[in-house]
């Protein structure tokens, strides 16, 4: 999400507008922004749980159930990143930097998912 903000604001540094034409009505924007915020905050919460599990391996956050939830959560985000990558590739005027960024994030997501799987099984 931080990359979205940074890349989205880049035109400002070159004197260009950052306004994006949208077909979404203004009345729906609060729900969209809330869903974007939650999509960003859930991984932050998952990271905090993983940090807690690393410091307290025998605590509640290191249980098999929590490790399984971490894996399935990372798998869900892997799939969503892959869908985002495919969508970016299919856009007729796709930006190469966005495709490269989503490719890197998808690969990183799969590595994290693999690590979550190993942690769950170990």
Q: Whole-structure pTM over 0.75, yes or no? A: no
Task: For residue 103, name the pLDDT band (cuts at 50, 70, 90).
Answer: very high
Residue pLDDT, tens place only, 1-54:
555 665 666 667 777 776 666 777 888 888 988 888 888 888 889 889 989 998
Q: How far apart are CA 101 and CA 3, in angstroms?
A: 9
Question: Which of left, alpha, beta for 15 (phi over 0: left; psi -120 to 50: alpha)?
Answer: left
Q: Cβ distance 40 to 4 under 8 Å?
A: no
Q: How far apart are CA 19 and CA 9, in angstroms?
A: 10
DSSP 56-82: -TTSGGGSHHHHHHHHHHHHHHHHHHH
Q: How far apart are CA 14 and CA 12, in angstroms?
A: 5
- 3-state DSSP assignment of residue 20: coil
Q: What is the predicted pLDDT for the residue at 94?
A: 79
């Amino acid at each position: 999400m931080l990359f979205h903000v940074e890349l989205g604001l880049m035109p400002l540094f070159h004197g260009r507008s950052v306004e994006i034409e949208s077909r979404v009505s203004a009345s729906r924007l609060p729900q969209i922004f809330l869903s974007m915020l939650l999509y960003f905050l859930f991984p932050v919460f998952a990271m905090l749980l993983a940090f807690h599990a690393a410091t307290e391996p025998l605590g509640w956050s290191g249980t098999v159930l929590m490790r399984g939830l971490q894996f399935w959560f990372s798998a869900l985000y892997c799939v969503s990143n892959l869908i985002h990558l495919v969508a970016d590739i299919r856009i007729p005027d796709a930006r190469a930097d966005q495709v490269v960024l989503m490719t890197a994030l998808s690969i990183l997501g799969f590595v994290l998912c693999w690590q979550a799987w190993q942690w769950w099984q170990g």
